[in-house]
Structure 1
């Protein structure tokens, strides 16, 4: 157990306006409730569909709004599908017209259509990518101009250990979730000078999407409430940027996409064979780094060239 730090400041969201997608239940609902409890005005978005994305009802989002209002907070319900950019733009306009700004976007909406890749229909692959990746892109694009104008914004992507490290039967989900990390990397770079911080959260939690994956004796420890603190840290004005926080069962880690030191082999007919023979050295993680941008990969290769 680590020693608890001396905490002098609270994560306060008074006066902030947040949009949380997929917030009609599960982790999204808890995100919305936590932000509202700490002072934020929250637009609760949820299509109200099934786990596979079919169907839809505004009741789920409205129920969470009712919870927030009953507790003394301010909230709006919205039933837009994140796959519909026009509807997402209208959702953002709803928040801005009511409260004058949007400070926080939590891209939480998601679906599952799990099958092994051999059995997966490409329509199911495409739909999962549309919801997770294009949904996050639609919502981020819709708030981007507003955040740039006000010189402030916090965007939280929801990635997954499946995207970061893989998981059987979830090729579509994993591809979409890692793609959100790629989106985060560039938006954080482009948004930095405008006061927009963009991060990603990789939750491990028992929700209706995942509860069957957990042994019964640990389900309580992995309840979604344990993930919410990481979201609050990434959505707060003190948030870092370009950070991937992992959270579950009270544990927190950071994931990094690293670059090894590498070697220089030059050009020539025998380079493929040299590379094959030297692969252990190329993949050796000793001295690996976290590049500040994609250009730093090229800069490292330039360093290797000039070291010869």
Structure 2
């Protein structure tokens, strides 16, 4: 297979199903060798007897591509390190990391216990950090050895991380953290030839099947607007050498729509030049808010 990722080695986490599987297949279709990572757990992170990573890797090979399965837990230092090692030992290089693994433990905040908080932050935020850290360490070593890579990282955030989502305080916090991690990584790793971007996708997966229970297929074209395969072309482009110069950005992708997200930046400001008293501060804030853009609505509010 040849395409815009011909010769590149790509790691995709959580690639056994849904968005991750779609990304892995799309990269392979564009010529990449793919390391398919999936721990093989249910939508809530509990044990699942299946081995979806091996199944997707075989699917890629059956189509004429090259792939290897990795079943390690990327939210552990050993699992994240072995993921990078698998790419290097199997293919001799690593070019792109797509962080996609995750699951949900939805609860309203008053019912959200510590275990559900920790579990979601662990797989989403810690899982992103550990794989990024180990891949970045390899690329830094390559750059210092005079072999500056054309490396790419694509992280997976969510609209919940950008706007919040009722009943998903843990997930929203993790996904917001991924955006901040993306911005810091893009700034720190640029000197080593690494570009880092984030994606907030909307698609029908095991995690979103209740939200997208009704299909959005257009009757006249048959276009399945919520298919995860709609998101993958942007991910593949961001993971390719052709995305040169694009880093530290966040995109939304849904159906046939791609949006550049514009995050926190200074809005209306008042400066007294001295300390405010509480009543003055409140009056100033009221005036500033009246001239500011209202925030987007929290999902489910």
TM-score by length of 1: 0.85
Q: Find the partner of 1:151 among 134, 140, 148.
A: 148
> Which structure has the higher relative contact order (CA within 8 Å, separation 6+)?
2
**CA 1:57–1:136: 2 relative to 1, 3 Å:** farther
Q: Are residues 1:131 and 2:128 paired?
A: no
CA distance in 2, matches of 1:81, 1:21: 10
Q: Find the partner of 2:40 among 17, 36, 48.
A: 48
Deviations 1:230-256 (A, max 9, x none): 212221223210111101121111112
Deviations 1:88-143 (A, max 9, x none): 10121111011111110000000100011111111101110000000000100110
CA distance in 2, matches of 1:256, 1:87: 34
Q: In the comparison of the two structures, how many residue pairs are matched? A: 276
- What are the equivalent positions in structure 2 for 1:57-96 lying under 5 Å apart? 57=49, 59-96=51-88
CA distance in 2, matches of 1:109, 1:46: 7
Q: Find the partner of 2:240 among 220, 236, 244.
A: 236
Q: Are residues 1:252 and 2:271 paired?
A: no
**CA 1:59–1:269: 2 relative to 1, 3 Å:** closer
Deviation (angstroms), 1:58? 6.4
**CA 1:191–1:124: 2 relative to 1, 3 Å:** same
Partner of 2:220: none
Q: Find the partner of 1:268 among 275, 292, 295.
A: 275
Q: Do the aligned partners of 1:57 and 1:79 also contact (CA within 8 Å) in 2?
A: no
Q: Do the aligned partners of 1:21 and 1:107 also contact (CA within 8 Å) in 2?
A: yes
Partner of 1:109: 101
Q: Do the aligned partners of 2:215 and 2:226 also contact (CA within 8 Å) in 1?
A: no
Q: Do the aligned partners of 2:3 and 2:31 also contact (CA within 8 Å) in 1?
A: no
CA distance in 2, matches of 1:192, 1:217: 41
**CA 1:64–1:217: 2 relative to 1, 3 Å:** closer
**CA 1:80–1:192: 2 relative to 1, 3 Å:** same
Partner of 2:12: 20
Q: Find the partner of 1:185 among 183, 189, 195.
A: 183
Q: Do the aligned partners of 1:58 and 1:79 also contact (CA within 8 Å) in 2?
A: no
Q: Do the aligned partners of 1:44 and 1:61 also contact (CA within 8 Å) in 2?
A: yes
CA distance in 2, matches of 1:137, 1:261: 34
